[in-house]
Amino acid sequence: MNTMRIVFFADTHLGFDFPVKPRIERRRRGPDFFDNFHRVLDYARRTRPDFLLHGGDLFFRAKVPQLIVDMVYQDLFEFAGEGIQTLIVPGNHERSILPASLFLSHPNLYVFDKPLSFNFEVRGAQITFSGFPCRRKSVREEFNPLLKASGWENRTDGWKFLCLHQTIEGAQVGPTGYTFRKGQDVIPKRSLPRDAIAVLSGHIHRQQVLGDLEKSQLSVPPVIYPGSIERTSFAEKDERKGFYDIEVERSGRSGWRIGNLEFIDLPARPMKELLLESWLTQEKLVNYIKSKLSEMDPDSIVRLKCDPDYKPGC
């Protein structure tokens, strides 16, 4: 075996703005998240990777209507039935615990409901995915014990991946590129296991890669964040949304590395800000807004912002 593929996505936030019994009929965001979730599954069906990995925040909160839970799990159950091993890391929005369901009992579905390692043999190669559910506020101190509890050290051969839903030092978010460096909920890069092919993590909504994909076996492993599959706030209005197709290849006689890393874009709702400037009078306001809206994608989410000196509409 010379190569192996992983389709990696995260932060799907399914159930957000998706009321089971809506009181008001309006255009909602919920279907956007479900549509992109299905696009990822369809891509994996077509391209047949060895593994599908979800990096956490499958749902948008811990308590989700049972109908939503069943919809999501049925999709995953049917997908797993097509023979692709599917792994899920519980995220912080689920409070680190996925809702229980018989759907999760499918033999091709693997959930990191505690520190665990899942071992596979694919075309003669040994592959290990280790990880644990999202740990908030104390992961900086608890990371090494959690890694040990996962069984990371028990496997010394083959391809090893660390699967998380955490903030790692160097990750960036927001339009200004805020960089996480310290804090009890930030994992230092120096703590990451050097024998990992890569760290595959959800939680950070901006797609990014930390570190060098051409690393040696003695350096800090690359950290891959696929980001969220849809924009969840205006802080993400300029970000690409999608998922990664990761190809791992043999490097030398005994080494392994990321051979090809392709980011697959998903359609995302446009987010636009409309500034109400100080020169606008009440008489001009409506026509001004109509004129600006006519220039935008009709599917845009629009936020009105007021100039500090603007009075009539604020």
Mean per-residue pLDDT, 18-25: 84
DSSP H or E segment with residue 36: helix 30-47
Q: What is the pLDDT of residues 54-70, one digit of tens each?
A: 999 999 999 999 999 99
Query: What crossing angle do the helices spanning 30-47 and 66-80 adopt, rounded to 10°?
Result: 10
Does residue 250 contact residue 256 with C-beta atoms inside 8 Å? Answer: yes
In angstroms, the first-to-last Cα distance of the chain is 64
pTM listed for this prediction: 0.93
Tokens of 271: 């987010």
For 91, counting Cβ atoms within 10 Å of its Cβ (0-12 exposed, 13-18 middle, 19+ buried), the class is: buried
Whole-number percent of the chain with pLDDT over 70: 95
Q: What is the pLDDT of residues 191-236, one digit of tens each?
A: 999 999 999 999 999 999 999 877 555 578 999 999 999 999 999 9
Mean residue pLDDT of the chain comes to 91
**Residue 257 has what pLDDT?**
83
The backbone region for 56, taken as left when phi is positive above 0, alpha when psi lies in -120 to 50, beta otherwise, is left
**Residue 314 has what pLDDT?**
47
Neighbours of 291 (CB within 10 A): 10
With H, G, I as helix, E, B as strand and everything else as coil, classify residue 23.
coil
pLDDT of 21 above 90: no
The DSSP bridge partners found for residue 129 are 118, 161
